[in-house]
Every structure is written in C-alpha cells, then in structure tokens.
Structure 1
Amino acid sequence: MTDTTAGAERLRRWRLVLGGGEADGTGWAPTGRDAAMDGALGALYGGAGAGRGDRAERSAGLGGSAPRVARWLGDIRTYFPTTVVQVMQRDAIERLGLSALLLEPEMLEAVEPDVHLVATLLSLNKAMPDTTRETARAVVRTVVERLEERLAERTRAAVTGALDRSARTSRPRHADIDWNRTIRANLKNYLPEHRTVVPERLVGYGRAARSVRKEVVLCVDQSGSMAASVVHASVFGAVLASMRSVATRLVVFDTAVVDLTEQLDDPVDVLFAAQLGGGTDINRALAYCQSRITRPADTVVVLISDLHEGGIRDEMIRRVAAMKAAGVEFVALLALSDEGAPAYDHAHAAALAALGAPAFACTPDLFPEVMAAALEKRPLPIPPPTT
C-alpha cells in the first residue's frame, strides 16, 4: 500500500469514527457503501455534527419507529461483522430504549441472535404477546443450539474422562477388571512366543464406583446482572442431564427458589421458565439444594452468583461450611460468561475462599475443565485475575 493510499484509508477510518461535522477535521466525505455505513452509525451514535467520541453528547436518530429500526438492523448486518453487529444491537437496546420494539415479530426476525439478546427477551417474557412468543423462542433456540454445538462435545468428553479416572483402580476384583485398559497398559509385556500379554498391572473399577452415579447441582442466581450466566448454565445443565453417568439438578433463584430439573431436556423451556431480575436470597437457595443431597461425597454443588446476598449472610457461609464438611465438592462461580467477573461482594468471596471454595469468574470454554476437576476432587483450574 502506497503512502497516499494509506493516508486516505486513515482519513476514511477517522471520518467514520468522528462522524463528520466541523469537529472531524478530515475533509473526507463518504460515498456509496461508506455513506451507508456512516448513516447506520449516525442513527445510533449521533447524526451529522455529533462527534462519536463523546457518548454523553450523542443524540439518537432511530426514534421509536419499528419499520425504521428493522431497516437499520438489516443495514448493520449488511455492513458490519457479526461481533460488531451484536455490540451495536446492545447499545441500541440500552441507550435508545428499544426493548419494547423487540416484542414485534418483524423486529425479532431482523436481529442477530446472541446471548445478550436472549437475556433481553427473557426479561420481557411476561410482557411478550402470543404473536411474538414463537418468534422469540426461535431466536432463543438459535442461540442455544450454537452454544450446544460449541460446548456439548467438550463437556461430555471432560466429564466422562474425569469419571473414568476417579473410578479407576489398580487392584480390582476379577469381575471388575477393565480388560481393554489392562491390555493397553501392559502391551510392553507382550510375549510373542506365547502370543499373550503378561499383565503386571491390572486396571479396573471398584464396585462402588461402578454402581454410584455422581450428582451435580447447578444453583444459579437469576438476578438481572447474571442473565448471561443463566443462559449458559441452562445449556450446560441440559448437556450434563443427557449423560447417564451424572444425575443433574438445576435450581434457579432470586428471593424465591425454583427447581427446573424436570425441564432440563430442553434448555429453551428452562430459559422461558426463568424470571430474570428481582432480589437475591442465596442462603434459601443453598438450603433447598442441601435438602436434596443424599450422597454428599458423590455430589458437586456449583453456585453461580455475584454473591450479593439479600438473605442471611452468616447462615449462608455456615451452610457452605456444613456441605463441605459432609464431603460435598463446592464450586463458586461469580459468572459463567465470556464477559469476566461482574461487580461482586468481595467480603462473601473472601469468606468462601477461607472455607476452601474460592470464587472466580469462569468462561463457558473453561467450565468443562472446572467440572472435571471438581468431579475428580482435584484443584480447580482458577484463571489468573484480569487487570
């Protein structure tokens, strides 16, 4: 690229960033596709003469017209990559108050489905008319299927591997020998003249390990700040519930507690049964989960919450201590999303860490490894804190 071409490209990019008017100083006028892109940006972040660098001074240009917004949604999907489209959609919903327009089917058909859009739709669930509900379910199902495609295979592989490793024993009874693994472990002892393997080390399963399923309890805070975590938890819950080797329970809570285990065969049903928003009573939710635990030593409880407790704080901590003392493997996740840790209660996080249950934010891609470590009762793969 020549210096002249590079200079023109820089001017073009600055002009699109600054938004035109006297303040941009580029002297470059967009045409064709660039003019259309500039119009789409200007409708959200400010019209001509409104610099996009100062969000507080921008004035919206979309208004409250559903047809206009639908056209704009189509335009940004034409001119920008999916990741940028998702950011612009979130900005439009948050800054321009377009949530109500998402209750119209033609609007939903124009949007780019993503986790944040699902969270917005779920928050509007009670106000959603019947004419919109099926379209909304289709949008939610699209996002759920994408997440399952991305995460299901890895989750099943990680959990199955963890269960196999935790159940394996080197001194099995004859009926419990895993002959395939035993042969592979002793191939170096193959005697060609006898056409046999001498098994110096036996690999198998203990009787208890073969007969007892592990239990996983997902206890998910459904307050508004945890919306993306609820979406991901419903997908992971459905994946775990599909595995015969794990008994999975999904509990969501705000100030009330709802057990959604019976709906785990369809995470879309789970999501529409959730009620995002409201207060938080972690202690009550943990009390319910604790009451459903029958084999503590074979149970993993995963609390997904920002730990802003509205219930009885000291009792919540004592309850976690009691579960751990009984043999429950307790995992505390501040979030289950790609956005990192939200604002959270640091005092409660420190109290859990003192009990041996450090609280940390977990991405969906890391969650299978976290579950595998918990099932094997080994140290959790806690990511380093972001700066």
Structure 2
Amino acid sequence: MTEGTRRWRLALGRYAKDNLGGLGGQDQKMDQALDYLYAREYDQRGLERDRGAGSLDPTQMQALTWLGKAKGLFPNTVFETLQGHALDRYGLTDLLKDPKTLESLEPNQDLLKVLLGYHDRADPAIRAKLREVADKIIRDIMERLRHDVMRAFSGRRNRFRRSNIPSAANFDWRNTLRENLKTYDPETSRIIAQTLRFNSREKRKLPWTVVLCVDQSGSMTDSVIHSAVMAAILCGLPGITVKMVLFDTSIIDVSDKLTDPLDTLLSVQLGGGTNIGRAVTYCEDFIQDPERTVFALISDFAEGASPRTLYAALARMAEARVRMVGLVALDDQSAPYFDGTIAGRAADLGMHVGAMTPNKFADWLAEIMT
C-alpha cells in the first residue's frame, strides 16, 4: 500500500476496506481510534451505522481510554484536533460532568491527562470533584515512585568499608568468594560459605540544586506529570533545593508550588510553540553553585526558535561544570519522539541525552550526587 493510499484509507475509514484494503499493526489501531470518534456522524444524521463484531461501541470507560490511546497514536497537532472534536463536537465531556460518573471511573494516568485538559472547561460546580479525582491519581503515582527514589538516595555502596548488617542489596560476592575459597569441596564442586561479606552504605554529601526545565507542549504530557511528581519527592529530601519551570514560547516558574504536584500540573497550558533556548537561559539564574547543580531539560528538543540561544546556554553550563541531562521522555514507557539533530548537538556540548523511566532518573541523580 502506497503512502497516499494509506492516508486515504485512514481518512475514509473501515468502509473503504473492500476497495483500498485492510490495515495492520499501528495503522489498524489508528483506524479503530478514528472510527470510534467519527462514526458518531452517522448517529447525528439519523443513519444506522454498522456495529459489526469489530466495532468499538461507546461506553464510559472506552471514551476515556480512547483519549489516552489516541494521544499515543497520533502526532500532537492531529491529536489536538481529535480531542477538540471529541470534547466540543461529539459531547464526550458529558462523562465528566456528573460527580457520580467520576466516582465510578478507575483512576489512572490516562484519566489524569484527560482531567488536566478538561479542568479549565469544566463547570465551577464540578471542578472540585475533578481536582479530588486528579489528586488521588497523583498520590497513587507518588507512592509508587517514592520507594524507588528513596532507595536510590539511601546511599551508594562503599566497597572499601565492611558492614555487619546483612542485606541482599549490599552483598559483596567477590570478597565472599575470596574469603571462602579454603572451604571448597571438590566432591560436590561447591564452596561452603562460612563467612559472608557485605558493603556498607555512604550518606550522600549535600546540598545540591536540581533544576527541572520542562517542555509543556502537548506531546510531553506524561513527562510533565512525572516531572511534577519527581519534583515533589525530591523537595522532601534533606539538602536538595528544587527549581522547576514549565515552558512553551512562554515560561511559568512553578518553584513555589512543588510540594503539591496537582497545583504544579494545573499551571500547565498544553500546546503552543516551543522556545527551548529562552527557557534554558531563564534557568541559568537558578545556578548559584555550578558544580553542585543538576540541570534537567525534559523536552522533545523540537526547537521552534533558532537553536543558537539553546546551544550558547548549554555551552556556558558545561564550561561551569553543571551536571546536565536531557530527557526526551520521563515516563513509564520511555518511548520518545525527539529532534535528533538538536539533541545530538546538546550531547556534543556535554549533556547526557536519553529517555529514562522515573526510577532510572532517580538512580542517575543519586549516582552523581556523591
């Protein structure tokens, strides 16, 4: 199937299957997502639509699941159009107008993304309930991530000090083998371990400043959510100062809201252009002790302005020996889309660039804060 035929097939929907052929893989999922939304045209025109075995009949849960899946299937500009049609043209927001319906929904991150996008549109009477549901989802995410962060910051293993506290995480297998070689049993080909060795753990030398510079464009919603949660957790650690800005072409400094991730997320204005260089330059003002500062840029690196300002700011930070990391995705999936040219240039300037799950990001922070 040519690219032109594929596009027509997606535009015309499943009724073009006989003439243009079927779809598979990701294209099939896109076709189902489009059909779920736009088949409502038949209902509005009073026509009977085909509800075959493969149809996606609307239910409360499917509407919200659809929004989450569609966001991952389509480019941001396309998804914004689909979401606008879903909320305004086809009235799917009715699901979010009844507090009883909200109570019956399963709280999850896909629902949180929908609530964040809908909060400003909601009737004043329903906003409190939306906030209550969103707050519960965020608390669940925080509890899941807090353990990973606290584990990472509990101290790194010190192989030059011994510990009498047995722990699988601290087990020193090299020295255990070395000290028990004399108990080797040739008949069973086994070492009878009479003495076990464990590494001790060091406390980290703080303070540090962590600066989170977060792209709030629509494609980064999952990363924005996890950034807000990570910021709240890091704020609770002794000796760590956290600063955070959200940006598109404008900049929102949310450093005074970080203890409440929901307040941070309600400051998000998804969509718009992107001026990364301006945001990074703004963040330079947070850097008081460069060698004790971590700068984390969470972005798809799709710079809308000239990248020269961005490159210059990163070069200044690198020269000052700021620890820099560029996260093209900070979520559980770590399936990023990003501008490889600009990200590659950032890496050449000394920035560690990659996609990370939140627990890996915590490990990375803990590793360098020694």
TM category (shorter chain) comes to 0.5 to 0.7
Q: How far apart are 1:246 and its partner, in Å?
A: 0.9
In the alignment, is the contact (CA less than 8 A) between 1:223 and 1:278 conserved in 2? yes
Please report the TM-score for the alignment, with normalisation by the length of structure 2: 0.66
CA separation of 1:374 and 1:87: change in aligned 2, threshold 3 A: farther
Q: How far apart are 1:116 and its partner, in Å?
A: 2.2
Q: 1:90: which partner in 2?
A: 68
Q: How far apart are 1:184 and its partner, in Å?
A: 6.2
Matched, 1:346 2:340: yes
Q: RMSD in angstroms over aligned alpha carbons? A: 3.5
Q: How far apart are 1:274 and its partner, in Å?
A: 1.8
SS at match of 1:97: helix
Residue deviations 1:304-335 (CA, integer Å, cap 9, x gap): 00011112301201211210110100000001
In the alignment, is the contact (CA less than 8 A) between 2:290 and 2:322 conserved in 1? yes
Structure 2 CA distance, aligned partners of 1:183 and 1:223? 48
From 216, 234, 240, give the equivalent of 1:222.
216
Q: How far apart are 1:226 and its partner, in Å?
A: 0.5
User: Number of aligned pairs?
Assistant: 280
Question: What amino acid sits opposite 2:246 in the alignment?
Answer: V
In the alignment, is the contact (CA less than 8 A) between 2:243 and 2:286 conserved in 1? no
1:115-130 alignment to 2 at 5 Å?
115-130=109-124
Q: How far apart are 1:183 and its partner, in Å?
A: 8.3
In the alignment, is the contact (CA less than 8 A) between 1:222 and 1:230 conserved in 2? yes
Structure 2 CA distance, aligned partners of 1:183 and 1:112? 45
SS at match of 2:351: coil
Question: What amino acid sits opposite 2:52 in the alignment?
Answer: A
Structure 2 CA distance, aligned partners of 1:147 and 1:137? 15
Give 1 or 2 for the bigger CA radius of gyration: 1
Structure 2 CA distance, aligned partners of 1:300 and 1:285? 16
Question: What amino acid sits opposite 1:256 in the alignment?
Answer: S
Q: How far apart are 1:182 and its partner, in Å?
A: 8.4
Identity of aligned residues (%): 33
Question: What amino acid sits opposite 1:359 in the alignment?
Answer: V
In the alignment, is the contact (CA less than 8 A) between 1:215 and 1:246 conserved in 2? yes
Please report the TM-score for the alignment, with normalisation by the length of structure 1: 0.63
Q: 1:246: which partner in 2?
A: 240
CA separation of 1:86 and 1:127: change in aligned 2, threshold 3 A: closer
Structure 1 CA distance, aligned partners of 2:242 and 2:291? 15
Q: How far apart are 1:144 and its partner, in Å?
A: 1.0
Structure 1 CA distance, aligned partners of 2:297 and 2:231? 13
Unaligned runs of 5+ in 1: 1-22, 24-40, 53-57, 63-68, 77-84, 171-180, 186-202, 377-387
SS at match of 2:359: coil
**Most deviating of 116-125 and 144-153:** 116-125
Q: 2:262: which partner in 1?
A: 268
Structure 1 CA distance, aligned partners of 2:153 and 2:275? 30
Q: How far apart are 1:238 and its partner, in Å?
A: 0.2
CA separation of 1:248 and 1:315: change in aligned 2, threshold 3 A: same
Q: 1:309: which partner in 2?
A: 303
Matched, 1:321 2:315: yes
Structure 1 CA distance, aligned partners of 2:349 and 2:102? 46
Q: How far apart are 1:364 and its partner, in Å?
A: 2.3
In the alignment, is the contact (CA less than 8 A) between 1:251 and 1:259 conserved in 2? yes
